Amino acid sequence: MWSLINVELYKIFRRPRTYIAFGAIAALIVVIQLGLKIDGNSYAAFLMKDINDTLTVDGKVLNGYLICYILLQLLLVHVPLLVALIAADMISGEANLGTLRLLFSTPYSRTHWVLAKFIAASVYTILLLIWLAFLALFVSMWVFGTDDLFLMKSNYVVLIQQNDVLWRYVGAFVFASFSLLTVTSLGFLMSSMANNSIGPIVGTMSAIVFFTILSTLNIPLFTVIKPYLFTTHMNNWKEFFDIKVNANNEAITGSVLNIPKIKTSLIVLSLHIILFVSASIIIIKKKDILS
């Protein structure tokens, strides 16, 4: 199995297409960081307009932790599209080239090959996420420094002490890995059903866009199905950055407001991964590779 994974990883990282996602993420992050470095104070002033009417905020609001949060908000919506570029090509690409027959004629079972391909695609996804974390978090910390995380949400503000922030990012990135692996498995499922790459890639992207729109609309009809959509749960990494308060309205350091929500989302995402990969195995097992 290990050798199969190595083979698949070799194939992934030999293709120039693989590095498009790494390059795109680097370019986006650097551009945003540069923009905020040059004109971040006016952006912060715009965000804090309502607060500044009542309070004076003293400290480094625009620090590395806040920059990382802004970057994750912007990028974790779009990274799934970059993941789809590789994951949705894993099987269909080989079917298109005709090499799938060669793979399945080896002594290894089809299940072994499917799992090896999925694990290799997952490694790519995780590496992409680590790259994102390195640039968004550590480079931002280096460029902008650190301080408390002053998080402006739609209806309230959360002020998290700087020694209470880093573990939240670890949690958020672990959570994000489940979100992206769900996209990987969806792309994989689409890939197992097609014999060319374009269809599964576009199909996966369309599914993400379609379900994301359904998840964000506050229409009662969609509210019923929203809890079952993986896109509803993908953005819940933000829950790591909301804290509990006690009866005196004092924030409790080290607390997370809604742990059950995070657990539910992880379970839903895990079930989607298992469902999509299992469906891929079943489809590939029945796939006619002779025609």
Closest to other proteins by CB, 24 vs 164, is 164
Closest to other proteins by CB, 47 vs 127, is 47
Q: Which of 259, 92, 90 is nearest to 171 (CA)?
A: 259
CB of residue 35 to other proteins, shortest distance in Å: 15
Q: Which amino acid is at 247?
A: A
Closest to other proteins by CB, 69 vs 124, is 69
Q: Which amino acid is at 102?
A: L
CB of residue 145 to other proteins, shortest distance in Å: 12
CB of residue 219 to other proteins, shortest distance in Å: 11
Q: Which residues bind other proteins (CB under 8 A)?
A: 47, 50-61, 73-74, 77, 147-148, 150, 152-159, 161-162, 215-218, 226, 232, 235, 238, 242-243, 245, 248-253
CB of residue 46 to other proteins, shortest distance in Å: 8
CB of residue 218 to other proteins, shortest distance in Å: 7
Crossing angle of the two packed helices 79-87 and 110-133, in degrees rounded to 10: 150
Torsion angle in degrees (nearest 10) through CA of 22, 25, 30, 32: 180
Compute the distance between CA of residue 179 and CA of residue 190 in angstroms, rounded to an integer.
17
CA angle, 96 then 99 then 104, to 5°: 120
Closest to other proteins by CB, 8 vs 242, is 242
Closest to other proteins by CB, 224 vs 290, is 224
Closest to other proteins by CB, 11 vs 226, is 226
- Sequence-distant (6+) residues with CB within 8 A of 162 are 65, 146, 147, 148, 149
Task: Judge residue 263's burial from the number of C-beta atoms within 10 Å of its C-beta, 0-12 exposed, 13-18 middle, 19 or more buried.
Answer: exposed
CB of residue 245 to other proteins, shortest distance in Å: 5
Residue 18 CB neighbours (<10 A)? 17
Q: Which of 82, 86, 74 is nearest to 21 (CA)?
A: 82
